Structure 1
Amino acid sequence: MRTVLLGAAGTGTAFAIASRLKAIWGNGIRLIASDVNSASMVSTSLLADAYHQVPYANSPLFEGCIVDLLRDESVNHYIPILNEEIVLAGELADNNVYSHIDFWSSMHYAKCVDKKYASQWLNSIGISTPKDVRIADIECEERRVFVKPRDGFGSRKAQVMTLGQVKALPFEEQEALVIQELCDGPEVTVDSFWDAQKGRGYIYCRERLEVKAGVCTKARLFYCGELAKVAERIATEMSQHGTICFQVMKFSGAWVVTDLNLRPGAGTAMTCAAGFDVLAAAFACRTGGDYSRYVKPLVEGEEYIITRQYVEFVTRHSVII
């Protein structure tokens, strides 16, 4: 039996991964969920065989807690979700002490958590990204730009601002931002599955048709040969082994990569719902199994519309006397 440690269990991404692993492998895996919240506040705890409340990922106590869990729970696979988890997992993967553990990360993944580094790396391998804006080069303070934290995730604190508003920020805050030209729609997320050993993969594009509170609730799933080439280029250059996702938009009529995520996304579950289970395929691929039953090609002109509804879970019931 394989033991899987899943990070940030309270996120939609973690719940999607846990759902697919348990749906397919059931009792064949032992799922350990970890999160900063208590079990009763995390739906994924209902799917887990064990649950651990851990410190915040940016806490100095976090690394020691994870290392203890890896040892005490005899973990075979660690699936990080948050940026800090991806960085830690990449560092541990580079340490021979933990060579017996499959970390869903690498040192390259860890470096690409920095969005400015990721953009420069993408450019270096011939992939276009939105143009960076240098505040000192622009005099028009009313000019609108897209701003996001260098270490951000899940669209948090990503917003459109004027240059005047950016200039008003303290210098240290400006340095922690990526400032780019505005792009045009559509906004598309590419779910990219790649088998680094066999040099083949599958890509599925999700156009966001409706978003509520930052979560995609309606999407169009389709295939784009141009984006497939972008996904293959990224996958081969970073030795991708499993599933990641990245966002694209249009700039001057051409696709540009606006964000690179070194993990699946919460919306990846929508791709799985259409019959393209890149989450199960990732686990099968990393464990040497047959993933062909979970993924298949999506061809030009073929599309799916997927909608989402909320599902309710009761995680605890108590009576106070």
Structure 2
Amino acid sequence: MNICITSIGSATAINLIKLLKAQTKHEVSIIGLDCNTFGYTSGSLLVDKFVRSPLALEESYINFIEDLIVKEKIDLLIPIHDFEIFRLSQHKLDIQMIIPNQTTIDLFRDKFISAVSMQEIGITVPPMIIRGESIGSDIEKVIVRERIGVGSTGIRILNVDEYFKVSEDMDEDKEFAQGFITGDEYTVDVFSDKEGLPKLIIPRIRLEVKAGVATKIRIVHHTELIKMTEKILTKYPIPGFCNVQFIVNEKGIYFIELNPRYGGMSISSSLASVNIMELFIDHFVNCEPLSDYNEYMKLVKWNSVVTRYYEEKIFYE
């Protein structure tokens, strides 16, 4: 079975490579794609075959993927980067590729639209700030976010006076503002079947962050977060992987964003439960039925702490 993973320079892709190599049920050959040349990213040294690819924003990207599927006899394509998923969702490829439909991707790609959509189904989000309207006295700072962005890219945290000074120059087609809230940061990892019915919902709290990347987390059985995630995915079913980010404080639980892909630290949920790639191949490639949600949730080792370390690879030119 030939499985192709994109953006193998990312921690997300390397984690999936680890899980694929750790599972013993399926014989897998991993083809890795990246815009770097061979040896200039660790992921290229971890796969069975490396192919240099154009960037997803390049015109040639889709044709490159289509040709690769035929040439390498790819059975499953796993796109990693948000923009790759967006580009691929716009084209019907003759390949097994588990991503949401384009409407769902467009909704969660735009963080403003997704926040409004969450409010409509009764999910709390940080207070939305509309330009020209007054700001509640309980809001001390404002966070300005790019509507379409990855991670913390383009984020500005301003006091209220600073916000009023820049708000008139904000491009509302590209940015939006919310009240800035603090609290515990949670990510909920989800694995769902072909119909988007969740089979694992595993919350984790960030215990340590370095340079914006979680390096230590705890797996937490947070009932309200699980219920809230179920509510979101009932309205917007997502097959395969996704992760939902929340902030929890003494006032409540606030939805931040949903990423319709495997997360950068989602491997922690697999380590604390079951090798998710084994289930993924069973169900999405071999069409085997999955067990009941409650059966998989019994396997989760709640209260586990997962820490991250770095490992180096060397390439001789």
Interval of TM-score (by shorter of Structure 1 and Structure 2): 0.7 to 0.9
Which residue matches 1:161?
A: 158
| Distance apart, 1:200 and its partner CA | 4.5
- Pick closer, same or farther for the CA change 1:158–1:281 going to 2, 3 Å: farther
- Pick closer, same or farther for the CA change 1:227–1:278 going to 2, 3 Å: farther
Corresponding position: 1:104 with 2:104: no
| Distance apart, 1:137 and its partner CA | 1.7
Runs of 5+ unmatched residues, structure 2:
none
Which residue matches 1:147?
A: 144
Runs of 5+ unmatched residues, structure 1:
none
| Distance apart, 1:55 and its partner CA | 2.4
Distance 2:31 2:300 in 1: 39
Corresponding position: 1:84 with 2:80: no
Q: Indicate the RMSD between aligned Cα atoms, in angstroms.
A: 3.1
- Pick closer, same or farther for the CA change 1:173–1:305 going to 2, 3 Å: same
TM-score w.r.t. length of structure 2: 0.85
Aligned letter for 1:73? Answer: E
Percentage identity across aligned positions?
25
Number of equivalences = 311
Per the alignment, in what secondary structure is the counterpart of residue 121 of structure 1?
helix
- Pick closer, same or farther for the CA change 1:73–1:169 going to 2, 3 Å: farther
| Distance apart, 1:216 and its partner CA | 0.7
**Comparing both chains, which one has the higher relative contact order based on Cα–Cα distances under 8 Å and sequence gaps of 6 or more?**
2
| Distance apart, 1:11 and its partner CA | 0.9
| Per-residue CA distance 1:14-57 (angstroms, 9 max, x = gap) | 11112111221587223221112222122222232222222222
5 Å-filtered alignment, 1:1-321, equals: 1=1, 3-24=2-23, 28-92=27-91, 95=92, 98-111=93-106, 112-138=108-134, 143-163=140-160, 164=162, 167-168=165-166, 171=169, 173=171, 175-197=173-195, 199-250=197-248, 253-287=251-285, 288-289=287-288, 296-297=296-297, 302-314=302-314, 316-318=315-317
Distance 1:198 1:130 in 2: 27
| Per-residue CA distance 1:28-87 (angstroms, 9 max, x = gap) | 223221112222122222232222222222233323322332333232222122221111
Per the alignment, in what secondary structure is the counterpart of residue 203 of structure 2?
strand
Q: Is the 8 A contact 1:216 1:267 kept in 2?
A: yes
Per the alignment, in what secondary structure is the counterpart of residue 203 of structure 1?
strand
Distance 2:7 2:164 in 1: 31
| Distance apart, 1:301 and its partner CA | 11
- Pick closer, same or farther for the CA change 1:116–1:207 going to 2, 3 Å: same
